């Protein structure tokens, strides 16, 4: 039985193969030591931590999302940023929310109310939700990055 003979007779590796295996193990162990040394060096270096102010307010509930359009993007170069906000907020709450989230007190806030459009889903009639848009104008020289991941 030629097939079973391979498994029953134990062949020993030749000395050349054993040397190759030992060399590979030595290389791996020296690489591991280098990685460990790099980790130790990084731990000893001082790290700079970002300080993010923690607040218990509802600032993130007031500003829903930045409003992205061509017109809004062009207006950003002039220092006015556009956001979609909660329907029942006022200018003071929006100023306070922008101050807490971005750390810059707005110079002026303008609000616009929009009615949801009537739409059809097959035979059924429906309506999109009403929404409010806020244009926040910052002082000259101050900028915020609202399109970071877009």
The answer as to whether 34 is a domain residue is yes
Could you tell me if 92 and 39 lie in one domain? no
21 lies in the same domain as 74: no
- What domain range includes position 79? 59-137
* Residue 30 and residue 65 share a domain: no
Q: Residue 90: which CATH number?
A: 3.30.70.330
The per-residue pLDDT for range 20-73, each reduced to its tens digit, is: 666 666 666 555 555 555 555 555 556 665 555 555 578 889 999 999 999 999
Split at pLDDT 50, 70, 90, the class of 9 is: confident
Q: Are residues 87 and 128 in the same domain?
A: yes
Query: What pTM did the predictor assign?
Result: 0.59
The verdict on 25 and 64 lying in the same domain is no
Same domain membership, residue 64 and residue 133: yes
Q: Is 78 among the domain residues?
A: yes
Dist. CA 114–CA 131, nearest whole Å: 5
Per-residue model confidence as pLDDT tens digits over 74-95: 999 999 999 999 999 999 999 9
Within a domain: 5: no
Number of domains the chain contains: 2
Assess whether 66 and 38 both reside in one domain: no
């Amino acid at each position: 039985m030629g097939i079973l003979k391979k498994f029953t007779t134990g062949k020993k590796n030749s000395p050349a193969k054993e040397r190759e295996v030992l060399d590979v193990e030595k290389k791996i162990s020296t690489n591991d030591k280098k990685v460990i040394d790099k980790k130790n060096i990084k731990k000893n270096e001082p790290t700079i931590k970002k300080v993010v102010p923690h607040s218990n307010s509802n600032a993130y509930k007031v500003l829903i999302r930045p409003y992205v359009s061509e017109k809004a993007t062009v207006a950003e170069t002039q220092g006015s940023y556009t956001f979609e906000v909660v329907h029942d907020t006022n200018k003071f709450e929006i100023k306070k929310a922008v101050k807490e989230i971005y750390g810059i007190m707005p110079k002026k806030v303008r609000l616009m109310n929009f009615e949801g459009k009537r739409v059809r889903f097959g035979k059924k009639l429906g309506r999109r939700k009403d929404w409010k848009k806020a244009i926040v104008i910052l002082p000259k020289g101050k900028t915020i990055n609202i399109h970071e991941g877009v």
